[in-house]
Amino acid sequence: MKVSLFITCISDIMFPNVGKNTVEILERLGCEVDFPTLQTCCGQPAYNSGYLEEAKGSMKQMIRAFKDAEYVVGPSGSCVGMIREYPHVFKGDSEWEKPAQELAAKTFELTQFIVDVLGVKDVGSTFKGKVTYHPSCHMTRILGVKDAPKILLQNVKGIEFVELPSGEDCCGFGGTFSVKKPEISAEMVKEKSRHVTETGAEYLVGGDMGCLMNIGGRMQREGKNVKVIHISEILNTHN
Amino acid sequence: MSLKLEDIPFEEGVQKGIENDFMRQAVSGAQGRFRAGRLKQAQELGNWEDWRKLGEEIRTHTVNHIDFYLHQLSEQVEKRGGHVYFAETAEEANSYIKQVIQTKNAKKIVKSKSMVTEEIGLNDALAETGTEVVESDLGEWILQLEGDHPSHIVTPALHKNKEQIRKTFAQKRGYTGSSEPEELAAFARKQLRSDFLQADVGITGCNFAIAESGTITLVTNEGNADMVWTVPDTLITVMGMERIVPTWEEMEVLVGLLTRSAVGQKLTSYITAYTGCREEDEIDGPNDYHLVIVDNGRSNALGTEFQAALHCIRCGSCINVCPVYRHIGGHAYNSVYPGPIGAVLTPVLDGYDDHKDLPYASSLCGACTEACPVRIPLHEMLVLHRQKIVENGDTPFAEKMMMKGVGMWGGSPFVYKMSTKLAHSALKPWTKDETIENGPGPLKAWTAVRNLAAPPKQSFRSWFENRKKDGEN
Ligand code: SF4
């Protein structure tokens, strides 16, 4: 199966390991992975700030970049969620509505793709450690992916999985929200950090680097010893 | 008439909220209880998603045909001897009500809980007539004694704990008992009983007005609305114009969604229903009845992308799940309507000038949208508000410039690629051990409370390119 990787701008620039792990997992599962280099950002920062025209520029570029792809897979519930919204953004646009629909229909979040499209529930990885999972808001509520990441995590050999209390609560990232309303965002991430600490987990995993960068940055600032990592790192470990 | 509560900057309200530990504990505890109750009720009922869709359909249909149903409602009310008054503005509503009160020469008015009367500032308007107004909902009564505002649309005194309430009763009404809820409630009941018996005029809000019969229905847990409509000789209902359903059948669906979502109950202890004036064979109810239907900006939403804001049935469950509300409390929104629905509705009714921060007081986590029993896409409507603010050119200059840059960056693969190459060196001066603890410019707000992982030397795309080359060699 041919898969085009949608790296997301944040992982492209800040967290390249997420991309590396994603590529290796998909290849191990028998996919042929390519990377369309014309891709940029899904447009969410501008879109969520109300800058529709600026966002559309990005979105059109993404549609162009993945025009020929069979499947598009990205390691982020939020960014994939944004692409799934494209048809709504371009509704009534005679030129862009249809290509937007096509892109939305073939784009999947990594764990969603593995479980729902490839039909794989165990990626065959081994990981030793106590792990908790933050189900990010856009992954669960906008994209509707709730079970896939947990199924995959629970099938990792050697893992000790613990539920995160009040996991469904937002970590306070919210893209530009974190710098536009920093006081509120700060209280939210402090609460999230408290909940993670309560679990006694050594690792916090998630499927969205924006949220993880927020929670991880806060926990590091608090001097907490929890390692905050993307789910692809666990799914690509064989120790 | 602004919906603003206080003339302070938004950030100040937020700070006050964040520093109020009492309030935050009370709110967080209540949110936990309400959320658990709602989820349990939804599960017990089964097919919750289907019920929500039905709720949405009913609300959409009703608001789409609001002229027809309002006409039907007013005909029915008039048939039962009532007067109907359509108020376009808060001022019109208040002056009509004042006029009724003055004609009656009323000394005392009892009210049951009503958000729309908060919205139009009715109590302040009535104060000018010199008539005593008594709020009979326990939460509202507490706030009235203190001169405070509701911080929640269903449980107005959510931000208070029982010790604070005991103090208020002691200071204002000479209460000497304990802070046990039962004792506090018994005291309030006794005090309010004499008010009910003395009142010349009753004023209630309205949860659902039933167009086919002209009936006003209200949900309460204290039964106070029953006292308000049965005892006084004159009764006034104040309703927002969208608070209407076609028939009893739709009311039944919506009231079930409302009580389950609001407080996690199958039904509230009391559902009050009254229709027009007292008839000859009836032993209670008003001899003079007025229905005041308030627009006050609601028509602004009709036919626009904000119309769904009028679908709201005021259950408060979007507020009960909102993490922003949990940390800042209701008053920080500085609007009669707090929380996610407040952030959506307030600018629709009252414009952006006084409320331009509200659409941004959300991380867009979507918890509100998921909880709403009539499926209002609340977080999407917040984005729509942001779009309007941008369209109006009312965002800060620096933000405009930055977003222009973001647009160019995302729209051009060339510019974007450059950024993947430059990010590492651009942030190098602030980087130590791959971490930024004190970032420049817009990163300052970020690093004030958390570290930022610095971009590494090699971006993903450059790694992939090299890997491909290696593979080919
Ligand atoms: S918007 Fe929805 S959840 Fe919020 S109060 Fe209204 S009906 Fe309830």
Query: Measured between CB atoms, which of A35, A175, A218 is closest to B449?
Result: A218
Mean pLDDT, chain A, as a whole number? 97
CB B415 within 8 A of CB B409: yes
Distance CA B1, CA B78 (A): 29
Distance CA A224, CA A230 (A): 18
B448 touches chain A (CB under 8 A): yes
Owner of token pair 């989820």: B39
Contact A51 B406 (CB under 8 A): yes
Residues above pLDDT 90, as percent of chain A = 99
Which contacts of B36-40 are long-range, i.e. CB under 8 A and separated by 24 or more positions?
A: B36/B264, B37/B263, B37/B264, B37/B265, B38/B260, B38/B261, B38/B264, B38/B317, B38/B320, B38/B371, B40/B264
Encoding tokens for residue B233? Answer: 């000789």
Q: What is the pLDDT of residue B468?
A: 81
CB B263 within 8 A of CB B205: no
Contact A55 B446 (CB under 8 A): no
| Model confidence pLDDT, tens digit, residues A61-78 | 999 999 999 999 999 999
Residue extent(s) of CATH 3.40.50.1860 domains in chain A: 122-235
User: What does B319-356 look like in DSSP terms, one character per residue?
Assistant: HHT-HHHHHH-SGGG-SSS-HHHHHHHHHHHH-STTTT
pTM score of the predicted model: 0.95
| A122-235: CATH class | alpha beta
Distance CA B428, CA B292 (A): 65
Report which DSSP code applies to A142.
I
CB-based burial, A70-81: b 16+ in 10 Å, e otherwise: ebbbbbbbbbbb
CA B56–ligand 1 middle distance (angstroms): 11
Quick one: CA dihedral B351, B352, B357, B359, positive or negative?
positive
C-alpha dist (Å) from residue A231 to A107, A179, A195, A221, B115: 19, 26, 19, 22, 46
Which residues does chain B have within 8 Å of residue A185's beta carbon, measured at their own beta carbons?
A: 363
A193 touches chain B (CB under 8 A): no
Domain residue ranges in chain B = 65-296, 416-472
Q: What is the pLDDT of residue B1?
A: 62
Contact B410 A50 (CB under 8 A): no
Ligand 1: residue of B319, B376, B382 to mutate (most ligand atoms within 8 A of CB) is B376
E strand spans, A29-170: 32-34, 71-74, 107-109, 126-134, 157-162
The atom of ligand 1 lying closest to the CA of B371 is: 3
Residue whose Cα lies nearest atom 2 of ligand 1: it is B372
Report which DSSP code applies to B278.
P
Query: Measured between CB atoms, which of A15, A50, A190 is closest to B390?
Result: A50
Strands B452-453 and A107-109 turn out to be unpaired
Ligand 1: residue of B31, B208, B372 to mutate (most ligand atoms within 8 A of CB) is B372
E strand spans, B123-213: 132-135, 201-204, 208-210
Owner of token pair 């064989």: A238
CA B349–ligand 1 middle distance (angstroms): 16
Q: List, in order, residues 6 or more apart from B335 with CB less than 8 Å away.
A: B3, B4, B5, B342, B346, B350, B355, B358
The atom of ligand 1 lying closest to the CA of B372 is: 3
Q: Which residue of B has its CA nearest to A181?
A: B361
Contact B406 A46 (CB under 8 A): yes
| DSSP 3-state of B466 | helix
Which residues does chain B have within 8 Å of residue A232's beta carbon, measured at their own beta carbons?
A: none
CB B120 within 8 A of CB B143: no
Q: What is the pLDDT of residue B470?
A: 79
CA B155–ligand 1 middle distance (angstroms): 14
Report which DSSP code applies to B3.
-
Q: What is the pLDDT along chain B (473 residues), one digit of tens a residue?
A: 689 998 999 999 999 999 999 899 999 999 999 999 999 999 999 899 999 999 999 999 999 999 999 999 999 999 999 999 999 999 999 999 999 999 999 999 999 999 999 999 999 999 999 999 999 999 999 999 999 999 999 999 989 989 999 999 999 999 999 999 999 999 999 999 999 999 999 999 999 999 999 999 999 999 999 999 999 999 999 999 999 999 999 999 999 999 999 989 999 999 999 999 999 999 999 999 999 999 999 999 999 999 999 999 999 999 999 999 999 999 999 999 999 999 999 999 999 999 999 999 999 999 999 999 999 999 999 999 999 999 999 999 999 999 999 999 999 999 999 999 999 989 999 999 899 999 998 899 999 999 999 999 999 999 999 988 877 65
Ligand 1 pocket, residue B122 CB under 6 Å: no
Distance of residue A48 Cα from the nearest chain B Cα, in angstroms = 6
Query: Measured between CB atoms, which of A61, A187, A220 is closest to B327?
Result: A187
CB A125 within 8 A of CB A156: yes
pLDDT at A115 over 70: yes
Which residues does chain A have within 8 Å of residue B451's beta carbon, measured at their own beta carbons?
A: 216-218, 220-221
Q: Angle at CA B448, nearest 5°, toward B446 and B451?
A: 65
Q: What is the pLDDT of residue B472?
A: 67
Tell me the backbone φ, ψ of residue B26, rounded to 5 degrees: -60, -45
Query: Measured between CB atoms, which of A7, A50, A182 is closest to B386?
Result: A50
**Number of C-alpha atoms within 13 angstroms, CB side, residue A221?**
22
Q: List, in order, residues 6 or more apart from B410 with CB less than 8 Å away.
A: A9, A40, A41, A43, A46, A54, A55, A57, A58, A61, B416
| DSSP 3-state of B245 | strand
Element (H, E) at A137: helix A137-137
Pick the CATH number of B65-296 from 3.40.50.10420, 3.40.718.10, 1.10.10.10, 3.30.460.80: 3.40.50.10420
Contact A49 B407 (CB under 8 A): no
Q: List, in order, residues 6 or more apart from A101 with CB less than 8 Å away.
A: A86, A87
Query: How many other C-beta atoms are found inside a 10 Å radius of the C-beta of residue B89?
Result: 14
Reported ipTM: 0.96
